[in-house]
Structure 1
Amino acid sequence: MNHTLTVKCCAFEAPILDQILPPILILEFMFGLLGNVIALWMFIFHMDTWRPNSVYLTHLAVADSIVLFCLPFRADYYRRGKNWLYGDALCRILLFLLAANRAAGIFFLTAVAVDRYFKIVHPLNPINRMGLGYALWVSLGLWGLIFLATGYLLANEHFYYNSNRTQCESFNICMGFSPLSTWHNAFYVIQFFLPTSIVAFCTIRITWQLRNRTVDKKGKIKRAVQFVMAVALIFITCFFPSTISRIAVWILKVWYDDCVYFQEANLAFYTTVCFTYFNSVLNPVVYYFSTPAFSGTFKKVLYKILGRKVKGEEISKSLESSQKKIRPAAFKRESFI
């Protein structure tokens, strides 16, 4: 344990994490980096038409690509038995990037879900006529909020000493409730439940719109439902487990002040945090399956690479033709990513 003044902090030995987490983190790094590099390549060089959704997802892909480079350092940290060798500055930067990426993953996916909601449920709302400049300002606002909420991680040391090992952690369990630790835990929970409520609302309203319309059964409304359902799946798979395990730690702190009561909860939290990093792997899959523009462009580029340019173009033209046929007049101003 590490004692600083009157504050008692817990430093646990977790051999099972040291064995299991490094290969998982390396796999997430490899597959996530491949998917996000391809996604950025598609967005930057091969997207013919940019829409607000494209802006939000590009920002998300950039955030994922940056944070993925933190995972090899985290894997090495666990491989050494939670012993950090890279200094205080890099520890602060890494913990900040991990926290900021979780918030970015949640906020930008929520922004896309809200954008889909307005286009489908309120197609005549003036917000739908706002262009890329509006989306850029929204993105900058989200980044500003993320920095304000997580930037304090850059200002403080996060070292905890256990025997001859130096742990680099922002979620070490310390008895009591300091202002920073309270905010750190509160934001971790709030940033999940509030956006999840928004996504759930958007999902219900868009699904209801699909049920009440037959003219666009195979068109944009159905694709919007698929997208928000995919977002909900990412939220549940990647962010829900670590949020619940963090709440469990918080509850235990109300009742106990001895580290022995927190060992299993601590193990559960750091295990479920790996699911949080997994969102960087799943996001490119969501890009592909949620928008015909992205998947159509991907197929077109793939056919060119394989020397089947004509067939790729035919598929693209066929896709555009089918979209025009099923698009009702009221939705002509709408567009997908």
Structure 2
Amino acid sequence: MHCNFSGDLLIGVLPPLLITEFVFGILGNGLALCVFCFHLRPWKSSTVLLFNLAMADFLLNMVLPFRAHYYISGIKWRFGSAFCNICLFFLAMNRTGSIFFLMAIALDRYMRVVHPHHAINTLSVSKAMCGALGLWLLTMSMTGHIFSLDHSNTSYCESFMVNTEPKANLSWHKFVFVFSFIVPVLVILYCTACVIGQLRGRQLAQHAKIKKALCFMIVVAILFIICFLPSTIAQLLIWTKTRRVASTLPPAEVCPALENMTTAFYITISLTYLNNMLDPVVYYFSSPTFKNICRKALHLPQADTAESTEKKTRETASQSISQL
């Protein structure tokens, strides 16, 4: 049987968190999409990946208000089973899609710095769009099973429910949840380490702009881990603890023993959506062109002449990371 939970802590914690993520996410990603669509020309293959990451985050923003309403209403879904599955699908698609596109961005950065003469670095925008479409199709194929969930006899709108039978917790949905994090995080960490090693090997690490780029790459990896690692660990801990308590406790005591773990998991799931409001920071600092357009759109002062001159002086030394 599924474990029901009161969720008193969730009702108090998650609505303000979700609303904050929605407000900053809609502002940041809305601005990013406007810059990509109307100001940033010409596009490069890396621009295609950033645009699709922004699109994944923007789609997530469409369902966050409904999730906030769900918790404000005392964990009672009031919009029907079909719309519940649509919202859960967008949540899962954003997580998986964001992870895949961040992995693709890390691979693109790796190829441009470590293998600058590889043919893939001359990939056309149209071919990059085909690759992005392939990632979307992969993401939807891995998360489309959510539409088969039945919520007609419950007030809950969740794709993750703890089951007192350990084997019932080994579903495809939970496998995708864990697997779609483990492989990309290994790829991202490997690519970041290789890029750092390559730049240090070229004796560029002491250059001011290179230092900023290296620090930025490390920060991106840390933000990725902060957003996606806690929920993955929580899911694994629930699975292992369910196996343990189901074999040692009477059935009636299994769900109460998992209550705190379940609450922690749903909080970490909401922390996953932080990438929605942090990704615009990635766009801003990853491209000088994007940064200048944003500052102009927000009527902020541009860099002064001295900074511009210094930037031109440093440009040759930092050419290998111009795509970061």
Name the counterpart of 1:186.
175
Distance 1:84 1:181, change over 3 A: farther
Asked if residue 135 in structure 1 is aligned to residue 128 in structure 2, the reply is yes
Q: Are 1:208 and 2:204 an aligned pair? A: no
Count of aligned positions: 317
Q: CA deviation at 1:36?
A: 0.5
The answer to whether structure 1 residue 88 and structure 2 residue 81 are counterparts is yes
SS in 1 for 2:177: helix
Q: Give 2:256's aligned residue.
A: 260
The correspondence for 2:95, drawn from 85, 98, 102, is: 102
Aligned AA (1:207): I
Residue from 42, 65, 68 that aligns with 2:58: 65
The alpha carbon displacement at 1:186 in A equals 1.2
Q: 1:159, 1:242 → 2: CA distance?
A: 27
| Structure 2 residue aligned with 1:278 | 274
Per-residue CA deviation, residues 217-256 of structure 1 (Å, 9 max, x unaligned), is: 5488656534532331222211111111111111122223
Answer 1 or 2: which has greater strand percent.
1
SS of the counterpart of 1:262? helix
Q: 1:94 to 1:228 in 2, by over 3 A?
A: same
Instruction: Give the conservation status (yes or no) of the 8 Å contact 2:45–2:125.
Output: yes
Aligned counterparts, 1:294-333, within 5 A: 294-302=290-298, 305=299, 318=309, 321-322=312-313, 324-326=315-317
Structure 2 letter corresponding to 1:321: K
Aligned pair partner of 1:117 in 110, 122, 127: 110
Structure 1: how far apart are the matches of 2:285 and 2:305?
A: 20
Identity %: 38
What residue identity is the alignment partner of 1:71?
L
* Mapped partners of 1:97, 1:181: distance in 2: 22
Q: How does 1:7-18 map to 2 (within 5 A)?
A: 8-18=1-11
Q: Any gaps of 5 or more consecutive residues in structure 1?
A: 1-7
2-side partners of 1:133 and 1:220: how far apart?
31
Listed one character per residue, the Cα deviations across residues 42-87 of structure 1 (whole Å, up to 9, x for unaligned) are 1111112311121111111111111112111111111111100000
CA distance, structure 2, for counterparts of residue 89 and residue 319 of structure 1 = 57
Q: Partners of 2:310 and 2:32 in 1: how far apart?
A: 20
Q: C-alpha separation between the residues in 1 aligned to 2:172 and 2:166?
A: 9
Mapped partners of 2:11, 2:33: distance in 1: 33
1:289 aligns with 2:301: no
1:336 equivalent in structure 2: 323
Rounded to whole Å, the distance in 2 between the matches of 1:47 and 1:199 is 26
Aligned to 1:151: 144
- Most deviating of 121-130 and 45-54: 45-54
Please report how far the alpha carbon of residue 296 of structure 1 lies from its aligned counterpart in structure 2 after TM superposition. Answer: 2.4
8 Å contact 1:242–1:273 — kept in the other structure? Answer: yes
| Alpha-carbon offset, residue 176 of structure 1 | 2.9
Name structure 2 gaps, 5 residues minimum.
247-253
Cα distance in 2 between the residues matched to 1:19 and 1:145: 36
Aligned to 2:238: 249
Report the TM-score, using the length of structure 1 for normalisation.
0.86
Alpha carbons of 1:145 and 1:178: their partners in 2 closer, same or farther (altered >3 Å)? Answer: farther
Paired with 2:266 and 2:124, the residues of 1 have a C-alpha distance of 41
CA contact 1:60–1:104 (8 Å) conserved in 2 = yes
